[in-house]
Every structure is written in C-alpha cells, then in structure tokens.
Amino acid sequence: MEHKNINLNLKVWRQKNNQDAGHFETYKAENISTEMSFLEMFDVLNEKLIKEGQEPVAFDHDCREGICGMCSMYINGRAHGPWQGTTTCQLHMRAFSEGETVTVEPWRAGAFPVIKDLVVDRSAFDRIQQAGGYVSVNTGNAVDGNALPINKDNADAAFAAAACIGCGACVAACKNSSAMLFTSAKVSQYSLLPQGEPERKTRVLNMIAQMDKEGFGACTNTGACEAECPKEISIANIARLNREYLAAQFSL
C-alpha cells in the first residue's frame, strides 16, 4: 500500500459548553500521513493549535484500539466515518483524498448533551445499564465453564450482542435518536443465557423504563443503527427486546 502525505480542510464543531450555541471552525491539516489514524491526525492539529496559542479541540478517547467506545465523532455525515464496522480511532487517513474537506461533529442527540467541542455526555447509557444490565450473583468460586450446557446458537448470539461497546453510534445514526439497538444488545446478552433467567422480566422492564426516562426516541425501523454500528450489532436484537418486553408485561 502506497504511503503518502495529504493536505485536508477540516470543518470542526467548536462549542465551549452545553449552554454555548456552537459553530464550525475551519482548519488546515497539512502534510498528514495516510497511515495515521483519525485521532492521531487530531493530535497533530491540536499540537499546531497550541503552538499558535489557540484552544485545542476537545475530543473523547481512551484505548484507541476500537474497544472502549469513547471516540464519538460524526465524520462527513456518518457516525465514526466512511469505513464499515470501524470506530473513529481505527479509521485511517487513507480513507480521505488530497484536498478533501472533512466535516467533524459530535453526536447529535438530546440525551447526549455536548460537554465541549466533540465531547458528549453519554452517561445516559450508563444509567440504562445500571437499571438492569447485570446478573445478581452471590460471590464465591467461579462455576466450572462446562457446568451449564448452553445451546451453541444461543451462546453465539449472546456473545455477538455482548460485543456492543456502548459508543452511541446507533443513537447518532438514528433520525429519532433511538437507543433501541444499545438497550436490546444489553438485554439480549443475558436473556439468551441461563444465568440471566432469574431477573429476565425485571431487567427488560427496568431498562426500557430508564431508556424512555432518558429521552431517547422511538425506533425508526430504518436499520441505520445496524449500518453504522462499529461492532455490527444486529437489529434482530431489537425484535428480541420487543418480545422480551411484551412477555414481561403480560406476566405482571
């Protein structure tokens, strides 16, 4: 693969805090290696801004390995950028062309208020998880892995649902800012396994109630969430969530 440097025009959302109206600022990103990640490109931009006495762009990140879900950037109209099944930190600059204008925004959702620039408050997801996304167990020695036989199809589906990293791309991609894909993934990973059976009904009722309380919109059924999810979580989980929710309601 050819290694080269490119120059880009960046339109970056700048917002001092949640009360500020916010606006786009245009920057030149010059001599950027196509082997850099998108976040490394922002590191270079911020070093330049600091040297010039300007305020660096605030953005969220942690692992930079595609597993923490923090790099929530909306790039050229797509959550996490143009590559399928990729987080922002794993997006590389070879995805862009010489002289291209790249527009970068934070997630746009009422339940994800902007903290500063490209950083949004995703603690609503934490509260949904805390409402029921766990299994209550007594502490003690771990049970042998073969002690609970589990159907392979269920085990695979649970593992796939558990791959959700809670980044919020599903919310950002949805025109209603729905959190159904995230919530359904967290419900599915337990409803498919025997360990999740004792709290199955209360889990889905409590998590749905918290999701609604946070102000997320209704599912649009357009599939945009699945299309933009960096872990490619299936919308089949939303159908499972709806079944779990109806069954729990009728059992009250």
pLDDT digits (tens, 9 = 90+) for 78-92: 999 999 999 999 999
Average pLDDT over the chain, rounded to whole?
94
Averaged pLDDT for residues 224-247: 97
Averaged pLDDT for residues 95-106: 97
Superfamily name and number for 5-115: Beta-grasp domain (3.10.20.30)
Please enumerate in sequence order all residues whose Cβ is within 8 A of that of 29, keeping only pairs 6 or more positions apart, or say none: 7, 8, 9, 10, 41, 44, 45
Superfamily name and number for 123-250: Alpha-helical ferredoxin (1.10.1060.10)
Token digits of residue 41: 């490109």
Token digits of residue 226: 């699945």
Averaged pLDDT for residues 199-213: 96
pLDDT at 200 over 70: yes
pLDDT in tens, 175-192: 999 999 999 999 999 999
pLDDT at 71 over 80: yes
- Between CA 183 and CA 93 the distance in angstroms is 32
Question: Helix, strand or coil for residue 27?
Answer: strand
pLDDT at 40 over 60: yes
Per-residue model confidence (pLDDT) at position 252: 66
Distances (CA, A) of 121 to 17, 113, 171, 226: 11, 6, 13, 22
Nearest C-alpha neighbor of 196 from the set 135, 129, 138, 237 = 135
Distances (CA, A) of 91 to 74, 171, 220: 12, 20, 27
Token digits of residue 200: 């199955």
The whole-model pTM stands at 0.93
pLDDT at 1 over 60: no
Work out the pLDDT band at 139, boundaries 50, 70, 90. low
In the chain, where the domains are located: 5-115, 123-250
